[in-house]
Amino acid sequence: MREKLKALAELQTVDLEVASLRKAADVHPRQIAELERELGVARSAIEAERARVADTERQKAQHEQTITDEKDKVKKWEARLSEQRSTREYSALAREIDIAKKANLTMAEELTELTKKLGADREAIRGKEAEFATKQQGLSGRMAELRGKLGEAEAQVKALEGRRQGVADNVDATLLRRYEVVRKKKLPALVGVVAGTCQGCNMNVPPQLYNQLRTSLGTDICPSCNRIIYAVEALQETPAK
């Protein structure tokens, strides 16, 4: 019985190590997702800045085109002044030319302001792009590091799972089936009983059951938590009699 118990305890040692590795590795995907979210926010911010600069560039181009069109229109009207046959027609066209010239001056002033604004925005975006590049490099490096750790943990788990199969082959078939049922619900599934107390749930087992475990050096089921229990003496080098 003691050898069967030792084989099962060895199997559980592997399972506990696998569970520990998985628990430790579980944090990595969450950390990676958070870093990706942070990088996404920073990317969206820089893209918004670029869009704002592009919008200013479009406004500037529209103003330049409008000013050019209006100047051409004034030139055509000025050429037509000499063709006017009446003083009334001449005055009306001259007034339109004057209004158009004043509008052009206003647009020229607006264009000057847009040009200044665009220059400042371009300078600001260059600084923000440099900041983003630095941040992106740092976050990408951190994510690569976490992915590396996750890969290492997965490789270790895979190796342990391969080892587990060989260890499980040495466990008594009936005991293994019982262990697997309990393991799916809780781990550790195999716990010792010390001074009559189950180490899984900290509840006292019936004295008769405890004495039986100490005498047989075998296993049973805890009445309180349904784990597989054994007397700790069973795994000692010199079992107590």
Model confidence pLDDT, tens digit, residues 23-61: 888 899 999 999 999 999 999 989 988 998 999 999 999
The pLDDT of residue 133 is above 70: yes
Is residue 172's pLDDT more than 50?
Answer: yes
Backbone angles phi, psi at 217, to 5 degrees: 55, 25
Q: How far apart are the first and last CA of the chain?
A: 14
Give the helix ranges, DSSP H, for 82-206: 87-168, 173-183
pLDDT at 93: 87
CA nearest neighbour of 205 among 185, 232, 181, 229: 229
Q: What is the pLDDT of residue 240?
A: 45
Strand partners, 194: 197
Q: What are phi and psi of 223, to 5 degrees?
A: -65, -20
**Sequence-ordered strand ranges (E) for the chain:** 190-194, 197-198, 219-221, 228-231
Q: Are 229 and 51 in contact (CB under 8 A)?
A: no
Q: Cis check for the bond before 188: say yes or no (omega within 30 of 0).
A: yes
DSSP assignment letter at 233: G
> In one letter, which amino acid is 132?
F
Residue 87: Cβ within 10 Å count: 8
Tokens of 79: 């050429």
Look at residue 239 in the predicted model and tell me its pLDDT.
Answer: 43
CATH topology of domain 15-168: Helix Hairpins (1.10.287)
CA–chain centroid gap for 23, Å, is 17
pLDDT of residue 238: 55
* C-alpha R_g of the chain: 41
**202 phi and psi, to 5 degrees?**
60, 25
Q: What is the DSSP letter of 221?
A: E
- State the pLDDT at residue 241: 42
Given a cut of 90, whether residue 11 has pLDDT beyond it is: yes
* Mean pLDDT on 176-182: 94
- pLDDT value, residue 173: 93
Which pLDDT value is given to residue 82? 81
- Residue 10: pLDDT above 90? yes
Tens-digit pLDDT profile for residues 67-124 = 999 999 899 998 888 888 788 888 988 898 999 899 999 999 999 999 999 999 898 8
Q: For residue 187, is pLDDT > 90?
A: yes
The helix/strand/coil state of 82 is: coil
Mean pLDDT, residues 191-195 taken together: 94
% of residues, the chain, pLDDT over 90: 59
Query: How is the chain split into domains, by residue range?
Result: 15-168, 173-235
Q: Give the per-residue pLDDT at 89.
A: 87
pLDDT for 237 equals 62
Angle at 160 between CA 154 and CA 165, to 5 degrees: 130
